[in-house]
Amino acid sequence: MNSFKPLYDTEEIKKVRLGPFYKYYPDAEKEVKHLEYDSFLLDMNSNEKKIKTHEIAMKIAQTGVLRVEELRDQPLLFLSKLMNLIKLDMNVLAKFVIHYQLFGGTILELGTEYHHKIYFDDINKMKIVGGFAMTEMGHGSNVRNIETIARYDFQTQEFVIDSPTPSSTKFWIGNTSRYGTHVVLFCRLIFNNEDKGVHGIIVNIRDMETKEIRPGIELGDCGPKIGWNGIDNAWIRFSNFRAPRLNLLSRFASITESGEYITKLSSPGKLFQITISQLVMGRMLYIVGPPAYLNVAIKNTFRYAMQRRQFGEKEKPEELLINYPTHYQTLIPMISNVFALEFSRNVIVERFPESKMPDKADSYNAIIGGVKATVAEYAIQSISKLRTMCGGNGFSAYSLFGYMRDELEVFQTAEGDGTVLFQQLTKHLLVEYRKWYKKEGVKGYIIKEVQSFLDTSNPYYTHSRSIPYLISDEFHLHAFVFRFEKQRSILITKLSLLKSKGLTFTQSWNESLLDIQKLARYYTQLFCLESSYLCVKKCVDPGSRSVLSNIVKLYALTNIENDFGFYRNANFLSAGKALAISDAIRDLCVQLKPFIFELMEESFGLTFPDVPIGSTSYIKNMSERVGIPPYSSKL
Amino acid sequence: MNSFKPLYDTEEIKKVRLGPFYKYYPDAEKEVKHLEYDSFLLDMNSNEKKIKTHEIAMKIAQTGVLRVEELRDQPLLFLSKLMNLIKLDMNVLAKFVIHYQLFGGTILELGTEYHHKIYFDDINKMKIVGGFAMTEMGHGSNVRNIETIARYDFQTQEFVIDSPTPSSTKFWIGNTSRYGTHVVLFCRLIFNNEDKGVHGIIVNIRDMETKEIRPGIELGDCGPKIGWNGIDNAWIRFSNFRAPRLNLLSRFASITESGEYITKLSSPGKLFQITISQLVMGRMLYIVGPPAYLNVAIKNTFRYAMQRRQFGEKEKPEELLINYPTHYQTLIPMISNVFALEFSRNVIVERFPESKMPDKADSYNAIIGGVKATVAEYAIQSISKLRTMCGGNGFSAYSLFGYMRDELEVFQTAEGDGTVLFQQLTKHLLVEYRKWYKKEGVKGYIIKEVQSFLDTSNPYYTHSRSIPYLISDEFHLHAFVFRFEKQRSILITKLSLLKSKGLTFTQSWNESLLDIQKLARYYTQLFCLESSYLCVKKCVDPGSRSVLSNIVKLYALTNIENDFGFYRNANFLSAGKALAISDAIRDLCVQLKPFIFELMEESFGLTFPDVPIGSTSYIKNMSERVGIPPYSSKL
């Protein structure tokens, strides 16, 4: 095997991988590093875990290291701090995210100066512990239909809050069943017998002195979960509970002292959109965590594979796991995927201001949803795979695969279920396409189709399998664009056909869900590829850029390979070309193998302490961990 | 949608699905049903779980319901009892399997009457608690290279047992760190300074009265794991530990009082093979568990999807989850897979006697490995998918997805890692092929190749997409056989090419691992399909047979669809035919949807108690579970 190691500059690669975080990282590190943390909270029941999580979180919060205002003033610094805190147990991080970002961030965005002044100091030090009370037993991702109501009482200038049905019981409300003092409650405002739609109200659920639950509220714990057992998720039911008028988060809609409902927004629907768009910051956090964990999981698997020997030639030492193609042809493409996900995260983070621009917010929110759904799913599946690649030693809780998988699990459905987010993305893509079509007209459409037809029906093109061509960015980008556009055309044809059969729009849409999901996935992959190109282009050192570029090529090719069925069915590839792609993948893996692991580690050296399989000697480290005494031969 | 419900006989379907277990089921049920069991051991740390697991296991064992001898005399009754005990926590079952099957079963198979008489009564009542001490820190699946040694001392007629290196420390030995009294120890017998290979010796590790660990043994717990935390897995180290001569499991090799080593087997390698073949029964158990769990997981997901509404037409009730194609086109093919896995399990169980026939054992052991690897992987991936299909409510520990996934996790690597088992299967397949080739000669080979070429290069064939043809068993079987044979030919070509380049056999083999894995997977799928045909054919009721046959068709078609890339690259399918297959899958799903869930439930009604999402009202059941008081409207 070729063991040529190219010249690259680790710091340059780190710069590109961290992207917008790079310049905040040292400051974040400084702020965070004096904190002492315990190691991961393994092997606890949920009661023990809740106690320990709270204890650690309070200790850290009281140092003032995290501040709600930073979400507005220095969001990248805030995120960089969280990234630096990854050695904390995920439960502690989750508690912070719920408290600072979901609870605090909502007050920041939907509240006014009045609320900020009253609450922020106490939130920053966690004197107030906050939750985000949106989900109900009957409604998760479909927030628009939540049932909890707040009837405005003109007399007392209060909201009277009620849970009108069993299914309106708030459920899964984090930070609330045991330690929370407040929640931002999402409910329908009934004003003058009129349903004004979903509003957010700050509700103080426990007496600040006695910590007793306040009258009119019943709440309890939701029980154990797959992960996040350190979080005290609650069910909450309201009965004739009263909250003062000024607790309404009133930036976009308020009630005056004289009993007037005032809003600049045209409709409850518009208000709902603005309210819900606050979830964007949360989704951004959800994009940051999984690749970070996956980095660690890959690194540990690699280190184990560099020590562990299994089978091999007779009379020779057994072979290292890393030298088996089942190992390196899984690990290296996985690294290329992690890089692509990091690059898409960087672009999303850089474009975060767009989330507030009226003409760009829709597009931004749509793609962030697609990436969020993709990242969580990919990370969990990959971590599961990595665990089996470490055999029995992957099964040890100390290897952290189980920990990472379980703690990431909720990322797949919280703050937007993947299936729903993909639908939102596709809806946006179709709206955009309609706009384009209106502008370009039939003529533009035909030109485009003809071009695509010419490209792909050209036998030279579908058969061409020269290596330089197969590994060219041009080919990859075309393949991704083609797949997306082809799938869009398949979907539009299907929707039209169903509509022509007399189905309503909703019926046609639902019937086409599999194609809808596919389109969103394809677009997200395209976004990852384009983001990768954007990020790699920024790399000023030619050697480093060339290495990164090869990693992106591997990402693109494995992605195409995983979808050979689609490409072949669409006549985009000949059989021979497809097989040549598989060969090119193997060659890229062999070429990258001698240095990519080192490169990955050095350019973003996330380390979890004390993982035996991730240490230089897993036998020694594992022995220490489980109390096997040092070996002294008596033979 | 077509809501035609065909006539079928639930009992007939049950008969086919349970196959060889069917007639033992009632007896097993009777023996088991008077036992009282606790519900699943959720939300415990590993210490609590170990205590509870042991407590339940002891209580049940003392009823005498499980008996080692049954593994020989009535293995199907034994297995049926375990299947009936599925409502027990998996940790209790695991404890039984390690104790009765791995420990007891090894004494049964490798020991003699002498051992049976001494140990079986105490094993059956768990007065003796046994473990299976094979794996070492340095060696898992590669048992042949274990390092623990037992030097025979002629003077005292004892084995002197030592762990010569750190990596020889026994690791992951179940039932041992806390409660075990004995293990079957696998070690190299050094007899007269000669290495006689791997032997099994019964070792009493704890004093039966005081439960103190005996001198010469150091042991401790391996720490928390992803699952099976109720099992006390130990590391063990021996230093000059002595075990009497008669503790050698001496059915195939013994040492006489006068100090002679006697064996009828030609070589240590042969003895090793026989020793290791005892793992077959364990692998059979590993094939039984995952489909059973998956049945429950699918059932619960389905029941939830029949209640939970999300989105839909304006002004109408929201749509039931089950009506979304993302739901039913995932669930129904999954059911068809479960059936195919059950059918393959049935055939494997029926053919169990082959595992002892010299001319059939190799073939049998090879395929059981392939199925074991496939079943575990499929079940875990599917359960993970099902969890997300239940959204936030799937995240609750009470939904049992996390429980099932974690407790099945070890199935992927214990008793043979999937990657290794697939290699063993492929090796066997190539040996068989060489035999065939030797018999048929070049002429036979050419006839076969020409036939295959004619079949698939016939444009009528590759393009044919009439529905009756696409859903015919003939087409499916041909597709599966073709895929397997094509992949075999790809692999053989690759191996020859690498050999011609000067690589050793081991090097060529390792270089080809991805194709080796693929071949084993394809063969296993073919085995599942053929097993399905075998089982369905036994169904005497035409209506039931027709339904089962459609389920198998769906299994076959989704399997082909998942591999469109391969089929298209091999020119087995035209693009149009591929797309017609996807349409046929959708049609089959729509056709089966009105009744398949009911059919699945009724024909093998595994029920786990108290799963809120699996109850008739998850809101009511979940409310009770987490203590939400009954709702009384005060509005």
In chain B, what percentage of residues exceed pLDDT 70?
A: 96
In chain B, what percentage of residues exceed pLDDT 90?
A: 73
Q: DSSP labels for B401-441?
A: HHHHHHHHHGGGTTTS-HHHHHHHHHHHHHHHHHHHHHHHH
Nearest C-alpha in B relative to A235? B628
Q: What whole-number distance in Å separates Cα of residue B14 and Cα of residue B290?
A: 18
- Is position B415 annotated as part of the catalytic site? yes
* A314 within domain boundaries: yes
Q: What whole-number distance in Å separates Cα of residue B237 and Cα of residue B227?
A: 24
SS (H, E, C) A55-111: HHHHHHHCCCCCCCCHHHHCHHHHHHHHHHHHHCCHHHHHHHHHHHHHHHHHHHHHC
**3-class secondary-structure state, position B545:** helix
**Average of per-residue pLDDT across B437-460:** 74
Binding residue ranges of A: 135, 174
Instruction: Pick A226's closest partner by Cβ from B324, B395, B569.
Output: B395
The per-residue pLDDT of chain B, averaged, comes to 91
pLDDT of residue B635: 46
In a shared domain, residues B153 and B88: no
- Model confidence at A414, pLDDT cuts 50, 70, 90, reads confident
* B193 within domain boundaries: yes
In a shared domain, residues B578 and B434: yes
* B540 within domain boundaries: yes
Interface TM-score (ipTM) > 0.85: yes
**3-class secondary-structure state, position B151:** strand
Instruction: Pick B137's closest partner by Cβ from A398, A561, A619.
Output: A619
Q: Which residues of A touch B392 (CB under 8 A)?
A: 135, 140, 171-172, 413-414
Contacts of A400 (CB under 8 A, 6+ apart): A40, A296, A297, A300, A608, A611
Q: What whole-number distance in Å separates Cα of residue B80 and Cα of residue B100?
A: 14
In a shared domain, residues A118 and A151: no
- What are the phi and psi torsion angles at B225 (to 5°)? -135, 175
* A256 within domain boundaries: yes
**Average of per-residue pLDDT across B37-58:** 93
pLDDT of residue B634: 53
In 10 A of CB A218, how many CB atoms?
17
pLDDT of residue B307: 87
Q: How far is A149 from chain B (nearest CA, A)?
A: 11
The yes-or-no verdict on residue B412 having pLDDT over 70 is yes
In a shared domain, residues A493 and A623: no
- Model confidence at A466, pLDDT cuts 50, 70, 90, reads confident
The yes-or-no verdict on residue A458 having pLDDT over 60 is yes
In a shared domain, residues B255 and B217: yes
Amino acid at A363: S
Contacts of A231 (CB under 8 A, 6+ apart): A50, A53, A91, A94, A95, A98, A174, A175
Q: How far is B448 from chain A (nearest CA, A)?
A: 23
Residues 600-619 on A with a CB inside 8 Å of B are: 619
Q: Which residues of A touch B225 (CB under 8 A)?
A: 395-397, 402
The yes-or-no verdict on residue A447 having pLDDT over 80 is no
SS (H, E, C) A479-525: HHHHHHHHHHHHHHHHHHHHHHCCCCHHHHHHHCHHHHHHHHHHHHH
Contacts of A583 (CB under 8 A, 6+ apart): none
A138 touches chain B (CB under 8 A): yes
More confidently predicted of A568 and A446 = A568
The yes-or-no verdict on residue A562 having pLDDT over 80 is yes
Report the candidate in A92, A85, A93 with the shortest Cα–Cα distance to residue A608. A85
Report the candidate in B300, B380, B612, B172 with the shortest Cα–Cα distance to residue A405. B380
Owner of token pair 């040529």: A4
The yes-or-no verdict on residue B2 having pLDDT over 50 is no
Residue-wise burial string across A139-172, b where 16 or more C-beta atoms lie within 10 A, e elsewhere: bbbbbebbbbbbbbeeeeebbbbbbbbbbbbbbb
Give A485's strand partners: none
The answer to whether residues A325 and A409 touch, using CB atoms and an 8 Å cutoff, is: no
Q: What whole-number distance in Å separates Cα of residue B84 and Cα of residue B33?
A: 8
Q: How far is B531 from chain A (nearest CA, A)?
A: 27
In a shared domain, residues A383 and A426: no
Q: What whole-number distance in Å separates Cα of residue B38 and Cα of residue B53?
A: 10
A401 touches chain B (CB under 8 A): yes
pLDDT of residue A596: 94
Tens digit of pLDDT for each residue in B550-565? Answer: 999 999 999 999 999 9
Nearest C-alpha in B relative to A382? B381
Tens digit of pLDDT for each residue in B219-246? Answer: 999 999 999 999 999 999 999 999 999 9
Mutate to test the interface with A, among B48, B225, B382 (most CBs of A within 10 A): B225
A416 touches chain B (CB under 8 A): no
- Of A160-174, A434-448, B388-402, least confident by mean pLDDT is A434-448
**Sign of the dihedral through C-alpha A281, A282, A287, A292:** positive
Q: What whole-number distance in Å separates Cα of residue B428 and Cα of residue B423?
A: 9
In a shared domain, residues B266 and B352: no
Q: What whole-number distance in Å separates Cα of residue B383 and Cα of residue B293?
A: 9
Q: Which helix (H) or strand (E) holds A583?
A: helix A575-592
The answer to whether residues B481 and B529 touch, using CB atoms and an 8 Å cutoff, is: no
- Residue A586 has which token pair? 């193997």
Q: How far is A219 from chain B (nearest CA, A)?
A: 8
Amino acid at A217: I
The answer to whether residues B285 and B21 touch, using CB atoms and an 8 Å cutoff, is: no
In a shared domain, residues A107 and A180: no
pLDDT of residue A4: 63
Q: What whole-number distance in Å separates Cα of residue B275 and Cα of residue A137?
A: 55
Amino acid at B572: F
B418: exposed, middle or buried (C-beta count within 10 Å: 0-12, 13-18, 19+)? buried
- Domain end point (choices A124, A145, A173): A124
The separation between CA B592 and the C-alpha centre of its own chain, rounded to angstroms, equals: 28
**What's the domain count of chain A?**
4
- Domain end point (choices A72, A95, A124): A124
In a shared domain, residues A331 and A261: no
pLDDT of residue B327: 93
Q: Which domain, by its residues, includes A619?
A: 277-416+608-627
- Residue B614 has which token pair? 């699996």
Amino acid at A632: S
**Average of per-residue pLDDT across A575-598:** 94
Pairing, β B194-204 against β B182-191: antiparallel
**Average of per-residue pLDDT across A63-67:** 94
The yes-or-no verdict on residue B140 having pLDDT over 90 is no
The answer to whether residues A409 and A224 touch, using CB atoms and an 8 Å cutoff, is: no
In a shared domain, residues B308 and B381: yes
In 10 A of CB A493, how many CB atoms?
12
In a shared domain, residues B160 and B147: yes
The answer to whether residues A8 and A598 touch, using CB atoms and an 8 Å cutoff, is: no
Q: What whole-number distance in Å separates Cα of residue B517 and Cα of residue A635?
A: 42
* B467 within domain boundaries: yes
- Residue A255 has which token pair? 């009630």
A589: exposed, middle or buried (C-beta count within 10 Å: 0-12, 13-18, 19+)? buried
**3-class secondary-structure state, position B601:** helix
Pairing, β A217-221 against β B234-238: unpaired
Tens digit of pLDDT for each residue in A86-116? Answer: 888 999 999 999 999 999 999 999 999 999 9
- Model confidence at A630, pLDDT cuts 50, 70, 90, reads confident
- Domain end point (choices B416, B434, B459): B416
- Model confidence at A604, pLDDT cuts 50, 70, 90, reads confident
**3-class secondary-structure state, position A171:** strand
pLDDT of residue B459: 65
Residues 250-309 on A with a CB inside 8 Å of B are: 309
Q: What whole-number distance in Å separates Cα of residue B373 and Cα of residue B90?
A: 19
**3-class secondary-structure state, position A587:** helix
Q: How far is B484 from chain A (nearest CA, A)?
A: 18
Q: Which residues of A touch B483 (CB under 8 A)?
A: none
* B133 within domain boundaries: no
Q: What whole-number distance in Å separates Cα of residue B536 and Cα of residue B601?
A: 18
The yes-or-no verdict on residue B141 having pLDDT over 70 is no
Instruction: Pick B220's closest partner by Cβ from A142, A171, A627.
Output: A627
Q: What whole-number distance in Å separates Cα of residue B486 and Cα of residue B450?
A: 13
* B212 within domain boundaries: yes
**Sign of the dihedral through C-alpha A27, A30, A35, A38:** positive
Give B188's strand partners: B149, B198
The yes-or-no verdict on residue A631 having pLDDT over 90 is no
**3-class secondary-structure state, position A544:** helix
Return the CATH number at A588: 1.20.140.10
The yes-or-no verdict on residue A1 having pLDDT over 50 is no
Return the CATH number at B246: 2.40.110.10
Tens digit of pLDDT for each residue in A274-295? Answer: 877 777 788 888 899 999 999 9
The catalytic position among B12, B147, B415, B485 is B415
- Residue B37 has which token pair? 């069991």
Contact between A44 and B42 using a beta-carbon 8 Å cutoff: no
Contact between A142 and B510 using a beta-carbon 8 Å cutoff: no
Q: What whole-number distance in Å separates Cα of residue A208 and Cα of residue B530?
A: 68
The yes-or-no verdict on residue A2 having pLDDT over 60 is no
Q: What whole-number distance in Å separates Cα of residue A41 and Cα of residue A90?
A: 9
More confidently predicted of A463 and A21 = A21
pLDDT of residue B180: 97
In a shared domain, residues A282 and A409: yes
Tens digit of pLDDT for each residue in B64-84? Answer: 999 999 999 999 999 999 888
* A599 within domain boundaries: no
The yes-or-no verdict on residue A419 having pLDDT over 60 is yes
Contact between B565 and A570 using a beta-carbon 8 Å cutoff: no
A286: exposed, middle or buried (C-beta count within 10 Å: 0-12, 13-18, 19+)? buried
What is the DSSP-derived secondary structure letter of residue B210? T
B174 is in an annotated binding site: yes
The answer to whether residues B214 and B241 touch, using CB atoms and an 8 Å cutoff, is: yes
